[in-house]
């Protein structure tokens, strides 16, 4: 959706590739968080706008809306060290992935 500024590839590069540098992990979490915030905004408001560092769109209408008042429930699965923290802070639930 590059026409709405919601591309996950800022500056024409794939932003979700990690080479082990902590700054890339921080950037990756920011991108993920902004996409989630923008989804919640468009899913809960009749007319929504979002202006962030990675996602940017002027007022739009988006349908269908969730039947729940606070929008669709979004779960998060991760085996990352900060998975539970991120899940509690920004999502409606967390589930561990990978190793058992």
Q: Does the pLDDT value for residue 9 go beyond 80?
A: no
Instruction: Answer with the residue of higher pLDDT: 37 or 85.
Output: 37
pLDDT digits (tens, 9 = 90+) for 58-72: 999 998 888 877 777
Q: Write down the pLDDT at residue 21.
A: 53
How large is the angle between the packed helices 22-44 and 83-90, nearest 10 degrees? Answer: 30
Q: Does the pLDDT value for residue 90 go beyond 90?
A: no
Looking only at Cα atoms, what is the longest distance across the chain? Answer: 44
Highest-scoring range by mean pLDDT, 9-13, 51-55, 75-79, 95-99 = 51-55
- Measured distance CA(19)–CA(84) in Å, rounded: 22
pLDDT digits (tens, 9 = 90+) for 19-38: 555 567 788 888 988 998 99
Q: What is the pTM of this model?
A: 0.63
């Amino acid at each position: 959706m590059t026409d709405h500024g919601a591309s996950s590839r800022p500056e024409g590069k794939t932003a979700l590739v990690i080479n082990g540098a902590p700054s890339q992990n921080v950037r990756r979490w920011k991108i993920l968080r902004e996409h989630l915030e923008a989804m919640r905004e468009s899913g809960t408001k009749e007319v929504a706008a979002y202006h962030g560092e990675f996602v940017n769109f002027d007022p739009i209408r988006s349908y269908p809306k969730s039947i729940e008042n606070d929008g669709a429930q979004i779960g998060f699965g991760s085996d990352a060290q900060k998975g539970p923290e991120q899940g509690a802070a920004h999502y409606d639930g967390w589930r561990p992935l990978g190793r058992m």
